[in-house]
């Protein structure tokens, strides 16, 4: 009787590696989500938590220089309300109108006049779509991409508008929620002027008109549009 071998002989063939059977119901791999520092999906998510910094206080009016016209506009707005806090949106509008966007300096100037902390005003400015805390162009083009406009081709219009204004840093194109002009869908608000109904071909004309300083799409301005209700005209 032969002694058993001290060591088991290695198997002649290695077992196949454990690989899951590929099946046709596997979900295809998703594209990786873009990540910023610390693995966050939100850029600058930790900007405000620099604990080494003291909290910002109300800027000292003696050291914060505010242009006289801006100061007067803000003070006039504050005087219109029983509580001066109510003027924060008009004041931020005024500063944005002057500087183009709400830079930390612009917010500090408003804060100095209103005697509020920059943090308070930043919290207000970041809540509202029309107040912008990142640099933007001189001209705003808001393309409405909400339901009524998108049913009539607003998404294509938005794409065309982006392409038409691609080269121009002065023109900032944004897709916007319902602008309240679904009767001229698809439409856009160009520096506050409503124009529509637009076709993708109008995008270039809008950019050209803005560059030339003309009224944008004269024939498609909402201002000139009569009421749709036939009864309103007949009487």
Partner 1 sequence: MKKILFDRIDEPGLNTLAVYERRGGYGSLRKALKMTREQVLDELLASGIRGRGGAGFQMGKKISFLPKGDMDKYLVCNADESEPGTFKDRELMQKSPHMLVEGIIIASYAGGIDRSFIYIRGEYSYQADILEAAIEEARAAGYIGERILDSEHSLSMVLHRGAGAYICGEETGLLDSLEGKRGNPRLKPPFPAVEGLYDSPTLINNVETLSTVPHIMRMGGAEYAKIGTETSTGTKLVSVSGDVKRPGNYEIELGIPSREIIYGLAGGPPDGREVKLWFPGGSSAPVLTAEDLDVPYDFDSLAKAGTMLGSGAIIVVDDSHTVIEVATKLAKFYAHESCGKCVPCREGTNWTVKMLARIDSGEATPMDLDIMASVQTQIIGNCLCVLGDAMAMPIGSMIEKYRPELEAYIEQARERAGSGALADVVALGVADEHAGPMPVH
- Residue 136 half-sphere exposure, CB side, CA atoms within 13 Å? 21
Cβ-based nearer residue to partner 1, 117 or 146: 146
85 binds partner 1 (CB under 8 A): yes
Q: Are β-strands 139-144 and 171-176 bridged in parallel, bridged antiparallel, or unpaired?
A: parallel
Q: For partner 1, which is the closer residue by CB, 65 or 85?
A: 85
Question: Is the preceding omega at residue 100 within 30 degrees of 0, hence cis?
Answer: no
Nearest to 131 by CA among 108, 105, 97: 97
Structure tokens at 38: 């610390």
- Residue closer to partner 1, measured from CB, 88 or 172: 88
Report in angstroms how near the CB of residue 182 gets to partner 1 at its nearest: 3
| 123 interacts with partner 1 by CB under 8 A | yes
Q: Report 190-209 residues binding partner 1 (CB under 8 A).
A: 192-194
Other Cβ atoms less than 10 A from the Cβ of 145: the count is 19
Count the residues in the chain. Answer: 235
Least distance CB 90 / partner 1 (angstroms): 7
Please report how many Cα atoms fall inside a 13 Å half-sphere around the Cα of residue 160, on the Cβ side: 19
Question: What number of chain residues touch partner 1 (CB under 8 A)?
Answer: 59
Site string for partner 1, 134-163 (x = CB under 8 A): --------x--xxxx-xxx-----------
Instruction: Return the residue matching tokens 């219109």.
Output: 80
Q: Residues interacting with partner 1, by CB under 8 A? A: 23-28, 30, 80-90, 92-93, 123-124, 127-131, 142, 145-148, 150-152, 176-185, 189, 192-194, 222-223, 226-229, 231-233, 235
């Amino acid at each position: 009787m032969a002694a058993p071998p001290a060591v088991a002989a290695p198997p002649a063939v290695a077992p196949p590696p454990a690989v899951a059977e590929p099946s046709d119901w596997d979900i295809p791999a998703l594209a990786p989500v873009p990540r910023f520092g610390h693995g966050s999906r939100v850029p600058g998510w930790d900007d405000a938590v620099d604990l080494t910094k003291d909290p910002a206080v109300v800027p000292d009016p003696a050291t914060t220089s505010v242009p006289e016209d801006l100061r007067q506009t803000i003070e006039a707005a504050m005087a219109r309300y029983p509580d001066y806090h109510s003027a924060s949106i008009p004041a931020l509008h005024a500063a944005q109108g002057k500087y183009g966007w709400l830079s930390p300096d612009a917010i500090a100037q408003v804060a100095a006049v209103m005697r509020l902390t920059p943090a308070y005003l930043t919290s207000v400015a970041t809540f509202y779509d029309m107040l912008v805390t990142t640099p933007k162009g001189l001209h705003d083009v808001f393309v409405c991409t909400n339901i009524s406009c998108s049913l009539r081709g607003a998404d294509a219009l938005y794409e065309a508008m982006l392409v038409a204004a691609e080269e121009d840093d002065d023109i900032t194109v944004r897709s916007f929620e319902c602008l309240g002009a679904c009767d001229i869908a698809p439409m856009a608000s160009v520096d506050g002027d409503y124009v529509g109904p637009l076709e993708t071909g109008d995008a270039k004309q809008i950019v050209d008109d803005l560059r030339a300083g003309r009224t944008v799409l004269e024939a498609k301005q909402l201002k000139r549009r009569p009421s749709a209700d036939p009864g309103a005209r007949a009487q």
